[in-house]
Structure 1
Amino acid sequence: MKNFSEIEAMARMHHPDLDARLAAHGHLRTAQEIADIPDDRWLSTMTRCVFQAGFVWKVIEAKWPGFEAAFDGFDPVTVSFYSDDDVARLASDERIVRNGQKILATVHNAGFVADISREHGGFGRFMADWPASDQAGLLELLKKRGSRLSGMTAQYFLRFSGWDAWILSKDVGAALVREGVVDKPPTSKAAIARAQAAITAWSDESGRSQSEISRILALSTG
């Protein structure tokens, strides 16, 4: 496993505009900014990532105002109490993508957000307190307690929320294989833990965020 300065040099060789590319991806939120995000915005981002999975993102983006209206502004308590009639109503609502399983997942996730909020004094507070060095553990929790919140969907949810998240994209997986961290793209719990350990070590070494580490890893492949 190379020092991260060597990996960054590889990325700069392929992409001399590396700094501009990193800056273009937006800023991470501070712990306080994360804590201050209202519960409804967490459910909104969560739902958007669920509906985007396996679908054309631009379609979801264009319809998003309709999603916000149809799901009562994503208030977790309100959505968590949706009845079968509410689900049927949404399944025929042309303002949204009418995927029954993802609608049901949203109702489940509303309960998840509401429960975490009660347990920790706000979903944002819970997220702010979770250490970036244990993203693997957070992904496991999202998978167990949420619905359709696994794999890339969960990783994008964290990234889009401004949490300091790595994303195990195809290119990041290839870089981790190249560096001997894993022997194939990480999908198992053990392989993801090894990826987490390597990313944390590189973050400590370089002073860069986990988000930057994963982007630089991806760009180092070409």
Structure 2
Amino acid sequence: MKTYAELREMAVARKGEDGLEAVMPVPPAIRMADQSDDRILADFTKRVFQAGFNWTVIENKWPGFEEAFHGFDIGRNAMMSDEDLDAHLRDTRIVRNAQKILTVRDNVVFLSDLAREHGSAAACLGNWPLEDTIGLFALLKARGARLGGVTGQYALRSLGLENFILTKSVVAALNMAGVIDGAATSKSAQAKVQAAFNQWAAESGESHARISRMLAAAVPD
């Protein structure tokens, strides 16, 4: 497996020192552990609606989503009835996709369960050890609604967790680095990915988020 230093050298060769730093993630203004659970629901919903859709359209419509879903109040959205669903399907302020609309209610259940177990969903998700990021991804996939794959991974990063994201470029870099051979979907491959990020973080002192971006910069776009 290539070392962090070797991979960073490759990224600098492609982007230059300034160019590489320019694509690095900005440190979060608010840690995920300090977010309110309604903001977690909001970001989960945004990422679910953006998946397979034009992100700019969702961004432009987002104030309407906030209004339609009552500021993503946990209690109010837990009560979503068939009548509420019908109203959402007529609401031009949002993208009217029934399956994605229902994820709001489903993810309220998920977040509420975490809150009962840990005091708040933010405390559980935001304090999850990054040395077991793959375990957190598995939790989102198993108990969340449409939060598997990069959808949940992007949401975590957006909410202030400095996790890696397994984009196509990052997976390509992991293959180039000799960590995995092929996709990063099997349990054995994911265990190797986690071990590699843990090792590179120990070598460099960098966050998993910055290492993730560095990897993406080390391979062709």
TM-score when scaled to structure 2? 0.95
Contact 1:176 1:195 in 2 (8 A): yes
Q: Which residue of 2 aligns with 1:95?
A: 93
Contact 2:2 2:178 in 1 (8 A): no
Q: Which residue of 2 aligns with 1:3?
A: 3
- Percent identity, aligned pairs only, is 47
Q: Which residue of 1 aligns with 2:171?
A: 173
Q: Which residues of 2 match residues 36-75 of structure 1 at below 5 A?
A: 36-75=34-73
Q: Which residue of 2 aligns with 1:104?
A: 102
Q: State the Cα deviation string for residues 40-82 of structure 1 (Å, max 9, x = none).
A: 0000000000000000000000000000000010011210111
CA distance in structure 2 between the partners assigned to 1:114 and 1:92 by the alignment: 27
Q: State the Cα deviation string for residues 95-152 of structure 1 (Å, max 9, x = none).
A: 0000000011111001111221122111111123210111110111111111111001
Contact 1:38 1:124 in 2 (8 A): yes
Q: Which residues of 2 match residues 18-167 of structure 1 at below 5 A?
A: 18-22=20-24, 25-28=25-28, 33-167=31-165
Q: Which runs of 4+ in 1 moved over 6 A?
A: none
Contact 1:29 1:163 in 2 (8 A): no
Q: State the Cα deviation string for residues 129-181 of structure 1 (Å, max 9, x = none).
A: 21011111011111111111100101111111110111111111111111111
Aligned length: 218
TM-score when scaled to structure 1? 0.94
Q: Which residue of 1 aligns with 2:180?
A: 182
Structure 2 residue identity aligned to 1:163: L
Per-residue deviation, 1:21: 2.2
CA distance in structure 2 between the partners assigned to 1:36 and 1:177 by the alignment: 35
Compute the RMSD of aligned alpha carbons: 1.2
Structure 1 residue identity aligned to 2:3: N
Structure 1 portions without partners, runs of 5+: none
CA distance in structure 2 between the partners assigned to 1:109 and 1:95 by the alignment: 21
Structure 1 residue identity aligned to 2:219: T
CA distance in structure 1 between the partners assigned to 2:108 and 2:177 by the alignment: 40
Structure 2 portions without partners, runs of 5+: none
CA distance in structure 1 between the partners assigned to 2:116 and 2:36 by the alignment: 13
